[in-house]
A and B are shown apart, each in its own frame.
Chain A
Amino acid sequence: MKLAAALCVGIICSLTFVAVSGQSATGSALPDWSGAWVMEGPTVFDTATVQPRNGRAGDAGVRESPPYNDEWEAIYRKHIELIKQGTFPDPISTCGTPHGFPRMMNVPDVYEFAVTTEKVIVLAENGPNILRIYTDGRKFPDAADLWPTYNGASIGHWEGDTLVFTTISMKGFSGKDVIVDRTGAVLSDASRVTTRMRKLDAMTLEAQIVVEDSKALKAPWQVTKRYRKQPPGTWAWDYACAENNRNPVSSGGKTLTLGPDGKPIDKVVD
């Protein structure tokens, strides 16, 4: 009886320890990424190379320097020209599809990170977007069992306090409905992204993102994003994009503005 009681206490103690401290499968404590976070800087994916400096995504002539091959550099330049003409719509204007990965790490509003022993879930308020990163030791499905999706498939592991995860099977620009950012940068459906994410200090999370793309890039594209912790008690809210979307896109790629009656205000639609 005493042995049974001791075993029972031991099991309870073990369960309690796991629940409170968030033990990983390897026994090391999981980091505390609780709270709400906001990306630092503008929604330019690669702020290190953006020209002009401090240029905003979507403004005419703003570009980054992804290590594109000639074919994809030409595609990027075409998009930059369309932006100048106001006819490069943001695919998310439909309010029907996610931003896709890696763009979802580059959006405004609040992020939350649910860190558990079996997975990390990234919740982006804007969109909304959800990224599931499985850390339970599973492998990617066989290629025949995968299909391209907006956020792809992610598996990861912990190296100390750093989450290292790889994301594959993303749609990229294959369906014309996922971009990297509003400068017109895009990736192919062959892209593969490795992300190293850790807490630099109590107020800062950093994601070092390395994009490889055998179709579009000559070399890995390395980008660093940082996220700032928000005041305690910050809420994340619904982002029901279709609730009152007054900005449809015309067949010519022009983003329209609807009046309160639902009819275009624009003097020229196409």
Chain B
Amino acid sequence: MKSIWLVVLISAAASLFGPTTALAHHSGAMFDREHVVELKGTVKELQWSNPHVWLQVVAAEKGTTKEWSLEANSPNTLSRQGWRSATFKPGDEVTVRFNPMKDGSAAGAFIGAKLADGKTIGRWD
């Protein structure tokens, strides 16, 4: 896996990125809204499903790899924002930004992504 992961914990992220727009069907208590992680990796799968779309990204970490589960909005909402079920394809190199889980587990609330061709999806201010 060539991908490297760049994790940047950005304090006071709200001032840089504003609140995320995820409208979960559940409490968002598990997410750390004060911080944003930026991670470079490879798309394993886009689960285009309700109630949430999940972007599975595999990134290098300490000589091995780790799979991250990034929760986005519903397909309904995202499709109106320009997403499609093939927006991310397995093998795509991608840099993603997300609010991490408070407990440090490998998941988070999706904010935005930048593909290898420079195209951005979601919020990438």
**Interface residues of A, Cβ cutoff 8 Å to B:** 43, 56, 58-59, 83, 86-90, 92-93, 95, 108-110, 125-126, 182, 234, 236-241, 243-247, 249, 254-257, 259-260, 265-268
Contacts and interface: CB of A to CB of B under 8 A. Distances in A.
Given A88-B27, A110-B76, 16 more contacts: A58-B27, A59-B33, A86-B27, A239-B76, A241-B25, A241-B50, A243-B50, A243-B51, A245-B25, A247-B52, A257-B107, A260-B47, A260-B54, A260-B56, A260-B67, A265-B69
Contacts of A87: 29
Closest 5 CB pairs of A and B: A86-B29, A244-B49, A93-B26, A108-B23, A247-B26
B115 interface: no
B79 interface: yes
B101 A257 contact: yes
A237 B85 CA distance: 14
Given A237-B76, A257-B71, A259-B69, A95 B103 contact: no
Interface residues of B, number: 34
B57 to A, nearest CB: 11
B7 interface: no
Interface of B: 19, 23-30, 33, 45, 47, 49-52, 54, 56, 67, 69, 71, 74-77, 79-80, 101-107
B103 A90 contact: no
28 contacts: A83-B27, A83-B29, A86-B27, A86-B102, A92-B25, A93-B25, A93-B27, A108-B23, A108-B77, A109-B76, A126-B76, A236-B76, A237-B75, A237-B76, A239-B51, A239-B74, A239-B76, A243-B51, A244-B49, A244-B51, A245-B51, A249-B26, A254-B29, A256-B30, A257-B69, A257-B105, A266-B103, A268-B103
B33 A238 contact: no
A36 to B, nearest CB: 10
A97 B30 CA distance: 22
